[in-house]
Structure 1
Amino acid sequence: MDNVVDAAEAFVAKAIHGTPADRKQPLYRASAPAADYPMAALLELRPAVEAIIYKSRTPESLVAGSVLASAGFCAAPHFDVEIPQVGMKPLILAVLTVAQSGERKSTVDTLATGAIRRAEAKLAAEYEGEFAAYKCEKEAFEAAKAEAKKSAKKGRAAVAAALAGVGIEPKPPASPMLTPSEATIEGLILELSSRPNSSLFSSEAGMLLGGHAFTPENAMKSMTNLNSLWDGAPIKRARATGPVFKMGRRSSLSLMAQKSVVLRLVSNGDAADTGMLARLLLSEPETTIGTRFWRNSRDDYEKFLAEYNRRTDDLMARKPRILENGDGFDPLPMTFDQAAETRMIAFYDDTEAALREGEKYATIRGYGAKMLEHASRLAGVLATYAGKDVIDATTFDAGAELATFYASEHIRLADTACIGGDLLLAQKLLEWWQSRPDPRCSLAAIYQLGPNAIREAATAKRIVEILEERGWIERLPAGTQIDGAPKRDAWELTP
Structure 2
Amino acid sequence: MKVFAPDLIQFAVEGPQPLVREIAPAAAYPSVDLGPLRAAVEAVQGRTQAPVAIPAASALTVASLVVQGFANVETLGGPRPVSLYALTIARSGERKSSCDAPLMAALRDFENQEAKAQRDAVTAWQNAHAVWKGERDGILADAKRSKGEKKVAARADLDALGVEPAEPANNDRTVTEPTFAGLTKLYQTGQPSLGIFSDEGGQFLGGFGMNSENRQSTLAALNDLWQGNAIRRTRAGDGHATLYGRRLAVHLMVQPSVARAFMADRMAADTGFLPRFLICEPPSTIGTRLHANARVDDGVLAKFADRLRAILETPMPMDEETRELLPRVLPLAPEARDLLIRFADTIEAAQAPGGDLTHVTGYASKTAEQAARIAGVLALWQDLETPAVTAQDMGNGITLAQFYLSEAVRLADAASVSAEVDRAEMLRKWLVEKWEHPEVMARDVVQFGPNSLRETPKACAALIILENHGWLVRLERGTVVRGAPRKAAWQIVNGSGNVV
Q: Is the 8 A contact 1:248 1:323 kept in 2?
A: no
2:262 corresponds to: 265
* Alignment match, 2:332: 336
Q: How does 1:38-437 map to 2 (within 5 A)?
A: 38-84=30-76, 86-152=77-143, 153=146, 163-194=158-189, 195-239=191-235, 240-295=237-292, 298=295, 301-323=297-319, 326-387=322-383, 388-418=386-416
Is this contact kept in 2: 1:322–1:330, CA < 8 A?
A: yes
Whether the 8 Å contact between 1:39 and 1:46 is mirrored in structure 2 is yes
Structure-2 change in CA distance of 1:127 and 1:296 (3 Å): farther
Deviation at 1:276, TM superposition (A): 0.5
Per the alignment, do residues 237 and 170 of structure 1 end up closer, same or farther by CA in structure 2, a change over 3 Å counting? farther
CA separation of 1:218/1:423 partners in 2, compared to 1, >3 Å: closer, same or farther? Answer: farther
Instruction: Name the SS for the 1:188 alignment partner.
Output: helix
> Alignment partner of 1:238: what SS?
strand
**Alignment partners' CA distance in 2, 1:268 and 1:415:** 16
| Separation (CA, whole Å) in 1 of partners of 2:210 and 2:16 | 37
Q: Secondary structure at the match of 1:97?
A: strand
Partner amino acid, structure 2, of 1:68: L
Is there any run of 5+ residues in structure 2 with no aligned partner, and where? 426-450, 453-461, 463-494
CA contact (8 A) 2:21 2:418 kept: no
- Letter of the aligned partner of 1:74 in structure 2? V
Secondary structure in structure 1 of the residue aligned to 2:87: strand
CA distance in 2, matches of 1:87, 1:31: 37
* Cα offsets for 1:444-474 (capped at 9, x unmatched): xxxxxxxxxxxxxxxxxxxxx99xxx9xxxx
Q: How does 1:444-459 map to 2 (within 5 A)?
A: none
- Any conservation in 1 of the 2:90–2:281 contact (CA below 8 Å)? yes
SS of 1:89's equivalent? strand
**1:146 Cα deviation (Å)?**
2.2
Contact persistence 2:21–2:421 (CA under 8 A): no
3-state SS of paired residue (2:226): helix
On the 8 A contact 1:267/1:414 being kept in 2, the answer is no
Aligned-partner Cα distance in 2 for 1:147–1:308: 54
Residues 308-335 of structure 1: per-residue CA shift (max 9 Å, x gap): 1122222111222223753222122211
1:249 & 1:34 partners in 2: Cα distance? 35
What code does the residue aligned with 1:5 have? A
The one-letter code sitting in structure 2 at the alignment partner of 1:277 is: L
What residue ranges of structure 1 are gaps of 5+ in the alignment?
Answer: 12-21, 428-464, 471-493
Look up the match of 1:5: 5
Residue 444 of structure 1 aligns with which residue? none
Give 3-state SS (helix, strand or coil) of 1:251's partner: strand
Change (3 A) 1:421 1:384: farther
In structure 2, relative to structure 1, the CA distance for the partners of 1:419 and 1:393 (3 Å cut) is: same
What's the offset of the Cα at 1:372? 1.3
Structure 2 letter corresponding to 1:96: L
Output the amino acid matched with 1:79.
A
Residue type of the alignment partner of 2:275: A
Residue identity in the other structure for 1:110: A
Displacement, 1:422? 13
CA contact (8 A) 2:221 2:231 kept: no
Give the residue type in structure 2 aligned to 1:47.
A
Return the letter of the residue paired with 2:84. L
Q: How has the CA–CA distance of structure 1 residues 212 and 420 changed in structure 2, closer, same or farther, with 3 Å as cutoff?
A: farther
Q: TM-score, normalised by structure 1?
A: 0.77
- How far off is 1:23 after superposition? 11
Report the alpha carbon displacement of residue 137 of structure 1 after superposing the two structures with TM.
2.6
Displacement of 1:289 in angstroms is 1.3
CA distance in 2, matches of 1:111, 1:421: 38
SS at match of 1:223: helix
- Structure whose alpha-carbon radius of gyration is higher: 2
Amino acid at match of 2:343: F
Counterpart AA for 2:188: S
Of stretches 152-161 and 234-243 in structure 1, the one that deviates more from structure 2 is 152-161
- Structure 2 distance, partners of 1:66, 1:344, is 25
The 8 Å contact of residues 95 and 255 in structure 1, kept in 2 or not, is answered as yes
Q: Deviations over 1:392-424 (max 9, x none)?
A: 112101101111111111112222333679999
> What displacement does 1:142 show?
2.9
Q: Determine if contact 1:383/1:389 at 8 Å carries over to the other structure.
A: no
Aligned residues: 416
CA distance in 2, matches of 1:422, 1:193: 48
Deviations 1:163-205 (Å, cap 9, x if unpaired)? 5454322332222321112322222222122221221000000
